[in-house]
Amino acid sequence: MMDIRQILVTSLALLALLPSPLRADPLTPEEEQFLLCKNNVGTWIDSTAAVNVVKELGYEAFKLTVEKGCYEVTAYDRDKNVFEFYIHPISGELLLKKRKPRPLGP
């Protein structure tokens, strides 16, 4: 007869062979970028520095928030298209630039 320890070890070994049901689909590039902002340890750059990253690219920043651990700077280009920029809060690196759709209306 098997004792409880042998049953437990055998069960755990069999469980390790099963595929993980936690994440069936791969991460999108956007999700991968946000993983870089998770669990930040260190001193964050000043929010003005995050805005300056966007200004140096020629955009007019009008909103700053923290989203998913990153600085999110919302800005206009010269044609008044709206973009969101995700800046790493410690390195100041631009991680993602995303164009927002124009609102419908007159």
Domains, the chain: 27-99 (3.10.450.40)
Q: Are 82 and 76 in contact, with CB atoms under 8 Å apart?
A: yes
pLDDT at 99 over 80: yes
For residue 85, the tally of other CB atoms under 10 A from its CB is 23
Confidence of residue 12 (pLDDT cuts 50, 70, 90): very low
For residue 69, the tally of other CB atoms under 10 A from its CB is 15
| Range 49-71 average pLDDT | 94
Q: What percent of the chain has pLDDT over 70?
A: 62
Give me the pLDDT at residue 19, please: 44
Confidence of residue 14 (pLDDT cuts 50, 70, 90): very low
Q: Beta strands of 1-106 (E only): which ranges?
A: 60-67, 70-76, 82-87, 94-99
